[in-house]
Amino acid sequence: MGSEPSPILVGVVGPCGAGKSTLIEGLSNRGYRCRHIAQEHSYVKHMWQVISKPDLLLFLQCSFETASLRRKLNWLPADFEEQQRRLSHAREHANVIIETDGMTIDQVLRRALDFLENNKP
Q: What is the mean predicted confidence (pLDDT) over 18-23?
A: 96
Q: Where are the domains of the chain?
A: 9-115
| Category of 102 on φ-ψ map: left (φ > 0), alpha (ψ -120 to 50) or beta | left
Helix, strand, coil percentages (3-state) for the chain, rounded to 5, are: 45, 15, 35
User: Domain 9-115 class?
Assistant: alpha beta
- The total of other beta-carbon atoms located within 10 Å of residue 97's CB is 12
Q: How far apart are CA 37 and CA 84, in angstroms?
A: 14
Task: Tell me the per-residue pLDDT of 37-58, one tens digit each, with 9 for 90 and over.
Answer: 876 655 556 676 667 789 999 9
Task: Tell me the per-residue pLDDT of 53-86, one tens digit each, with 9 for 90 and over.
Answer: 899 999 999 999 999 988 877 889 999 999 899 8
Paired sense of beta strands 96-99 and 9-13, if any: unpaired
Q: What percent of the chain has pLDDT over 90?
A: 68
pLDDT at site 116: 96
pLDDT at site 84: 92
Which strand (E) or helix (H) includes residue 87? helix 77-93
